[in-house]
A and B are shown apart, each in its own frame.
Chain A
Amino acid sequence: MLAYTARRILTLIPLVFGMATVAFCLLLFFPGDPVAVLLGDAASPEQVAQARASLGLDQPWFMRLVNYLWSLAHGDLGSSIFQRRPVLDIILERLPATLELASAAMLVAVAIGLTLGIVAAVWRGTVIDMGAMLLAQLGISMPVFWLGIMLVYVFSVTLGWLPAISRGPDLVPAIGQALQGDTSALSKALSHLFLPALSLGLGQAAIISRLVRVSVLEVVHEDFVRTARAKGLGRPRVMLIHVLRNALLPIISVIGLRFGVLLAGAVLTEAIFAWPGLGQLIVLAVSQRDLPLILGLLLVFALMFAIVNLIVDLIYGVVDPRVSLE
């Protein structure tokens, strides 16, 4: 298990460098001069030349690529053109907010998706099944940005129950305070988190529910399920211990694959709810055409996606001992 984990982590390294190369090559197609954008029209040719040299733009592209990869190997993502600070610092500042939102949304997605899928499978072919799957089809087709806006309209604008924008206190310290008896920070954090997490999670819940339904239906007809029932185990127990555990494998793998879509959705959700995470940052970076920041964010998003899939693969072996990791 340990050897497998180490090997999988090692395979991430060439992938990251491959991605960095592809991303860097894309940026070579940048038509204008980022320095001209940065300095504006009033800059003298000497100032432009000086700025180009300080950014390393006076070198040929392959030298810049080698330099970039070399810095990357040392954990240096370069400096933002507009904020004039290291890209890594800016990203690390914003990362917790995005992780909080993405985890909460995944929790929503799994909780609702599992429930809906099991309900549909248990009452297969009934009105309940059809209703659940219709809901799922609508959820899959619903743009996350529209869902977010409609939730804001209902819960913030009309009912005034929840805040429409911005993030509350950090969730993790708030949970710590709540454990010591002070729940005010936690309730504030959750009131801000609820709508963004719901709008980001519901679409994924729809996809998970369809998959849960199919996986459960595939497993319920297996011999071991009949044996368990024949032994006299109750339906809920058979469902939870025998069926669900075996149906979980494809569900876990799809959760890993959907994480990329979830991250993309986080960009839109953060834009709607003014959630101060990486999504809002990349929208800003793209509108300012801040190339080092865009490049860094692109890599960090891809890395998060890769790490989640790695974790999913490792969980695989834990859930199903038949899957050999070696």
Chain B
Amino acid sequence: MLNTLLRNPSLLIGGVIVLTLGVIAILAPALATHGVEQMDMANRLQGPSAAHWLGTDNFGRDLWTRLAYGAQLSLGVSALAVSLSVLLGTTIGLVAGYFGGWVDMVLMRITDIFLGFPALILAMAVVAVIGPGTPNLVAAMVLVFWTEYARVIRATTLSLRSRAYVDAALTGGASHLKILFREILPNAQGPIIVLATLGFGTAIITESALSFLGFGVRPPAPTWGGTLAYGTRFLSQSPWLSFASGLTIMLACLGFNLLGDGLRDMLDPRSRLRDGGATA
């Protein structure tokens, strides 16, 4: 275990960053030094100090506290969006790849259509239609993220479908459902784990971008993107506000990207040369 980690610095560094952010999110109430909405107008827009580790915002709210609670929001929303996208995308990919024929054709054409929209723009349109708010934000993200999983799982399923052990199971009288869940899905786990980890980075940036534009989780919720957005209004007096919140978003995305790269190297060493990553 330790050897694997030492030989794979991406996995190690990415894992440490992700783990740290996860712990901060879970322990936010214990780690917070102030109340999340606790205002202190006498100490607005302060730089880092002993009392306020990362300074304060325009209402004198403690930035460290808000970023820690923001981790709960950003990681929570992203985790939900990624899990639901994996569920939807994997199901569609499995069905398309396994049954083939016109089922495959129809499902893949629909996937192509969704892939044809730039992701963030489709997400914005969806939020515009169904309205802002956290559940709607998650729905919008799922609607733009599922396609990637569907395509990869379909390709994996197609190649697994023709293996001898699937034929053997079919001959042995196993049902389609059983073959899909017992024979094919376990063998498609590697790509799903890698894609989902990299997708987490994309989800964090997308959530921040939507919050930044004002279409994400509603204020006064302490989202990273929202903090960054109102920080720009005080850029000349207190650049720290935008700087720290943006750095947090970048660190989170970096962590998941490194972890994803590391997992890919570990699970599928041949793919070391292929490339990918999340950005928005």
Select B121's contact among A214, A267, A289, beta carbons within 8 Å.
A267
Q: Which one of B26-34, B94-102, B180-188, B248-256 is at the A interface?
A: B248-256
Q: How far is the CA of A145 from the CA of B128 in the complex (A)?
A: 20
Select B254's contact among A141, A207, A264, beta carbons within 8 Å.
A141
Asked if A272 is at the interface of the complex by the 8 Å CB criterion, the answer is yes
The answer to whether residues A15 and B129 also contact, given A141-B278, A145-B228, A261-B279 and a CB cut-off of 8 A, is no
Q: Which of B90-125 contact A (CB under 8 A)?
A: 109-110, 112-114, 116-122, 124-125
Report the nearest A residue to B236, measured CB to CB.
A157
Asked if A264 and B120 sit within 8 Å, CB to CB, the answer is yes
Q: Which of B155-213 contact A (CB under 8 A)?
A: 201, 205, 208-209, 212-213
Asked if A268 and B273 sit within 8 Å, CB to CB, the answer is no
List residues of chain A with CB within 8 A of the CB of B274.
Answer: 214
Asked if B119 and A264 sit within 8 Å, CB to CB, the answer is yes
Q: How far is the CA of A92 from the CA of B193 in the complex (A)?
A: 43
Asked if A15 and B117 sit within 8 Å, CB to CB, the answer is no
Asked if B208 and A140 sit within 8 Å, CB to CB, the answer is no
Main secondary structure of the interface of A (DSSP, over half): helix
Q: Is the interface on chain B under 10, 10 to 19, 20 to 34, or 35 or more residues?
A: 35 or more
Q: How far is the CA of A157 from the CA of B243 in the complex (A)?
A: 14
Report the nearest B residue to A288, measured CB to CB.
B128
Q: How far is the CA of A298 from the CA of B209 in the complex (A)?
A: 17
List residues of chain B with CB within 8 A of the CB of A140.
Answer: 257, 277-279
Asked if A143 and B253 sit within 8 Å, CB to CB, the answer is yes
Select B131's contact among A31, A210, A306, beta carbons within 8 Å.
A31
Select B128's contact among A142, A214, A271, A289, beta carbons within 8 Å.
A289
Asked if A29 is at the interface of the complex by the 8 Å CB criterion, the answer is yes
Instruction: Given A30-B129, A207-B279, A271-B213, output 20 extra A-B contacts at Cβ < 8 Å.
Output: A26-B125, A140-B257, A141-B251, A141-B254, A142-B279, A145-B209, A149-B228, A149-B235, A153-B239, A214-B275, A218-B273, A264-B119, A264-B280, A265-B120, A268-B212, A286-B128, A291-B128, A291-B129, A302-B116, A305-B118
A-B contact pairs, 26 of them (CB 8 A): A26-B125, A140-B279, A141-B251, A141-B254, A141-B278, A142-B279, A143-B246, A145-B209, A149-B228, A149-B232, A149-B235, A150-B243, A157-B236, A210-B275, A214-B275, A263-B118, A264-B120, A265-B280, A267-B213, A285-B128, A286-B213, A287-B128, A301-B118, A301-B121, A302-B116, A305-B118
Chain A interface residues (CB < 8 Å from chain B): 15, 18-19, 22-23, 26-27, 29-32, 137-138, 140-146, 149-150, 152-153, 157, 203-204, 206-207, 210-211, 214, 218, 254, 260-261, 263-265, 267-268, 271-272, 282-283, 285-287, 289, 291, 294-295, 297-298, 301-302, 305-306
